[in-house]
Amino acid sequence: MSAPPLGTLAPIALAEVIDRAALQCRVDRKYVIAVDELPHLLDQLTPYARVLDIDGERSFRYESVYFDTPCLASYHCAAYRRRRRFKVRTRTYLDSAQCWLEVKISGARGRVTKHRLPYLVEDRRTVRSGRGFVDEVLDRESILSDLVGSPLEPVLVTSYRRSTLLLPSTASRVTIDTGLTWQDGDRTLRLPGIAVVETKTSSAPSLVDRVLWQRGNRPVRISKYATGLAALRLDLPDVPWRRTLRRHFRADPSSAFLELAVPTRSEQEASCA
């Protein structure tokens, strides 16, 4: 994302964002929009939002490594819309070389709870040194029974650039992710033309939600782990994200909207027909 749109927003420090809107338990709403739409969105938010600024930078590089069991228990919980779902990942802030091991629990009414443990950057491709923390969280959330004795191995790597906004009036946050790349072994899917906008609120929709609704954008089902894996592996069930996959993650040779390093699901299905 270019600097000028973000440059119109007042800055805020990381400590203040955490203090005012940590939102470890929250409701998330996600949108997929064209990168070209971001300047208009940010222009409308200029009087109301502040942007995370660290040493003059307002866009930061992220890498997440997602872990799952050999039978992909985490993925299938999401694919079959289990009432209680979990994700295990490491998240690395590449610009500051900080890393966290995270366990995210999704529950009723879209509530998301995130548990975090500081982690060594060099350990980000394994949960070995943090397995006790993961098991403790899953046990506390009554999810552990299906995972006893199952290894957790790295399955998918995502990378992107993120900008974070704070809406002070509602103590809510907005993240804007661009340059999204999914990697599963030697298979890679790059999505340079889209932005994933995520609002994080205590419950009620934020100003950003209402602005996006007015422009015809509606929340979509997208998971950086599950949707990415479904896009890369044709054999996996994809019902919750099928509309998102078909609408946004398709190849169009005449457009720069997507740059696909592997065939899309629709192309793979056509070749198998």
pLDDT in tens, the chain (273 residues): 444 478 889 999 988 888 876 655 668 899 999 999 999 999 999 999 999 999 999 999 999 999 999 999 999 999 998 878 899 999 999 999 999 999 999 876 667 788 999 999 999 999 999 999 999 999 888 887 667 778 999 999 999 999 999 998 888 899 999 999 999 998 999 999 999 999 988 778 889 999 999 999 999 999 999 999 999 998 999 999 999 998 887 544 333 334 444 444 454 455 444
**CA nearest neighbour of 205 among 21, 19, 28:** 28
Measured CA to CA, the distance from residue 56 to residue 11 in angstroms comes to: 9
Q: How far is CA 94 from CA 60, 71, 97, 148, in A?
A: 8, 30, 5, 32
Is 165 in contact with 173 (CB distance < 8 Å)?
yes
**CA nearest neighbour of 173 among 64, 14, 57, 3:** 14
pLDDT recorded at residue 204:
83
**CA nearest neighbour of 124 among 72, 68, 66:** 66
Token output for 174 = 């907005």
Measured CA to CA, the distance from residue 3 to residue 13 in angstroms comes to: 18
Three-class SS of residue 262?
coil
Return the DSSP state at 236. S
Q: How many degrees, rounded to 5, is the angle at CA 194 between CA 190 and CA 200?
A: 115
Residue carrying the six token digits 């999914």: 182
Return the DSSP state at 217. -
Three-class SS of residue 121?
helix
**pTM for this structure?**
0.85
Q: Give residue 103's Cα distance to chain centre.
A: 13
For the chain, report the end-to-end CA distance as a whole number of angstroms: 39
Return the DSSP state at 181. E
User: In 10 A of CB 157, how many CB atoms?
Assistant: 20
